[in-house]
Structure 1
Amino acid sequence: MSTTGLDQSLRAGTGSEVPAAVRAQLLATEHWSLLATRSTTWSEVMSRITIHLTVSSAALVVLALTAQAIGFGPAFQVLSIGLASAILLLGTLTELRVHMASAEDALLITGMNRLRAGYRELDPGIEPYLVASWHDDFAGLHATYTLGRRRSTFLHVVGSTVMFMTAVNTIVAGTLGALVADAAGASTAVVAVLGALVGLAYFAAMVEAGRRRFACVPGIPSHSPTPPA
């Protein structure tokens, strides 16, 4: 069929308007595209997290075998610092990818909310059957994440994959700081305090990075905002 013929068939029977069935099909195609993108993104992220945790576990096994063979001397300290640095680098890169994936996930859900608004426009009677929100603003995003249930933002953030990676990397960062202090001959108290400070500094830096990453999400122009309460 030629382009002209296709255009005429789309407009047939409705003047200059595209038939509702065609609009619904186009919206559904876009919806499945966003779903596939979301699935692919999180599949990649979970694979990277698995690789990171596997490398971390292998490093602990290497350190345990090394300590049995040569003890906890200077060679062990150098090896432990090197492995901790490598694990922290891999963990930080993985966490940054999780940050980006989480921001992309919020945008994808916002897009799907907007598509649901299109479904609702085509068929207003479908509203009672929609579990997720059809508002493409921050309130609608939160409503879709929680499926309409009341849940605090704090609990949502604490239980997220981002916070999991932040916790793991914070422990590694604190351990690395303590290892460096111990190798430098610091006292036990200084080693403990320095390790805690390095861990807290890393935690604060990653939380701030995540906050800035998500700061752009509420600023997206909304086509179907949540009505005032």
Structure 2
Amino acid sequence: MSPERPQPSTPVMPIASIDDPRTITLLTTEHWSLLSARSLAYNEAFVRAGMFLTFLSTSFVALALVAQAMSFGQAFLSVAALVMTFDFVIGLTTFLRMNGANLDDLRAVHGMARIRHAYTQITPIVTPFFTTPTHDDLDAVTTVYGPISDRLAGQFVYGLTTSNGMIGLIVAMVGGVLATVLAMLIGLDGGASIGIGVAGGVMVLASLFAITGVTIRANRPDSRPSSRPRAPTRSLISRTERRGGFVRSSHVFEVGIGRGEVQ
């Protein structure tokens, strides 16, 4: 008896319509993938912030112990300058990595908004029940992170109250203390050293805001024409375009760290 020949398998036809039931399977798989990516961004940001704060507190305890063993003079200032330099460098790297986590979260939120738009095309009847954006333009996507004040001062304070903003503020304060210690090392009096420290801290904070704004402008996701962005509103991004990116840098502190968890 001759062996039976295997029957040729039925070829899998490509998806040619959004009504194909396989479409919703692919979209939900991608949706869960983006949710996982967002969760990883949260976890990494929190872990990095915790590591930095632990290192910072430990270094201050070490300085207190060293101060008990030597007088407050040039030797102690040299040790303090060295320790504060390490703290400042670690703080900068932590802030920059949290900025990267922010971008990862923004891309995930952007992708999920695009997928929800596909859901509304597949089943238009569910559109009124979505509480999160169904368009992938930045005006819509940034509404996930909640409203902020229309005033510049309110937006600045809002940025500082976020986790990444808090880390940036702490790094700026460390930079100011380091500048004060270095000024005292070169022989300046206390008043001048404190003035230099305050100026240094403000410069560091402004630089961190500027870095955040430039990073977002360089890496912000683009909208697809098929997503039919909603009409322009007086949202964060609209105001940012008129104010040179400063407001966006305030708002991006929130991305992936704070109220972004409402997704």
Q: Please give the TM-score of this superposition, normalised by the length of structure 1.
A: 0.88
In the superposition, relative to structure 1, how do residues 173 and 135 fare at CA in structure 2: closer, same or farther (>3 Å)? same
1:7 and 2:2 equivalent?
no
For residue 90 of structure 1, report the CA deviation from its aligned partner.
Answer: 0.3
| Alignment-mate amino acid for residue 226 of structure 1 | R
Q: Which position in structure 1 is the counterpart of 2:139? A: 139
| Alignment-mate amino acid for residue 143 of structure 1 | T
For residue 151 of structure 1, report the CA deviation from its aligned partner.
Answer: 3.1
For residue 6 of structure 1, report the CA deviation from its aligned partner.
Answer: 5.3
| Alignment-mate amino acid for residue 190 of structure 1 | A
Q: Aligned equivalents of 2:8 and 2:62: distance in 1?
A: 65
Q: Encode CA deviations 1:141-198: one digit per residue, 9 max, x unaligned.
A: 122222xxx4337265333222111100000000000000111110122101110111
Gaps of 5+ in 1: none
In the superposition, relative to structure 1, how do residues 137 and 4 fare at CA in structure 2: closer, same or farther (>3 Å)? farther
Q: Encode CA deviations 1:76-101: one digit per residue, 9 max, x unaligned.
A: 11110001000000000000011111
Q: Which position in structure 2 is the counterpart of 1:41? A: 41
**Residue among 124, 149, 154 paired with 1:152:** 149
In the superposition, relative to structure 1, how do residues 66 and 228 fare at CA in structure 2: closer, same or farther (>3 Å)? closer
**Residue among 197, 200, 205 paired with 1:198:** 200
Q: Which position in structure 1 is the counterpart of 2:230? A: 226
In the superposition, relative to structure 1, how do residues 217 and 116 fare at CA in structure 2: closer, same or farther (>3 Å)? farther
For residue 19 of structure 1, report the CA deviation from its aligned partner.
Answer: 4.7
Q: Aligned equivalents of 2:205 and 2:35: distance in 1?
A: 32
Q: Which position in structure 2 is the counterpart of 1:161? A: 163
Contact conserved, 1:138 with 1:217, CA < 8 A, in 2?
A: no
1:126 and 2:130 equivalent?
no
Count how many residue pairs are aligned between Structure 1 and Structure 2: 220
Task: Indicate the percent of aligned positions where both proteins have the same amino acid.
Answer: 25
Contact conserved, 2:41 with 2:102, CA < 8 A, in 1?
A: no
**Pairs within 5 Å for 1:77-92:** 77-92=77-92
Q: Aligned equivalents of 2:46 and 2:130: distance in 1?
A: 29
Q: Please give the TM-score of this superposition, normalised by the length of structure 2.
A: 0.77
Question: Deviation above 4 Å: which 4+ runs of structure 1?
Answer: none
Instruction: Give the SS at the match of 2:10.
Output: helix
Contact conserved, 1:107 with 1:217, CA < 8 A, in 2?
A: no
| Alignment-mate amino acid for residue 60 of structure 1 | F
Q: Encode CA deviations 1:9-50: one digit per residue, 9 max, x unaligned.
A: x66xxxx43654211111000000011111112211211111
| Alignment-mate amino acid for residue 99 of structure 1 | N
Q: Aligned equivalents of 1:75 and 1:145: distance in 2?
A: 48
In the superposition, relative to structure 1, how do residues 81 and 134 fare at CA in structure 2: closer, same or farther (>3 Å)? same
Instruction: Give the SS at the match of 1:5.
Output: coil
Q: Aligned equivalents of 1:39 and 1:102: distance in 2?
A: 12
Contact conserved, 2:107 with 2:221, CA < 8 A, in 1?
A: no
Q: Aligned equivalents of 2:90 and 2:170: distance in 1?
A: 11
Q: Aligned equivalents of 1:133 and 1:122: distance in 2?
A: 16
Q: Encode CA deviations 1:119-153: one digit per residue, 9 max, x unaligned.
A: 1101111112111011101111122222xxx4337
In the superposition, relative to structure 1, how do residues 192 and 18 fare at CA in structure 2: closer, same or farther (>3 Å)? closer
Q: Aligned equivalents of 2:201 and 2:8: distance in 1?
A: 62
Q: Which position in structure 1 is the counterpart of 2:28? A: 28
| Alignment-mate amino acid for residue 231 of structure 2 | P
Q: Aligned equivalents of 1:75 and 1:160: distance in 2?
A: 38
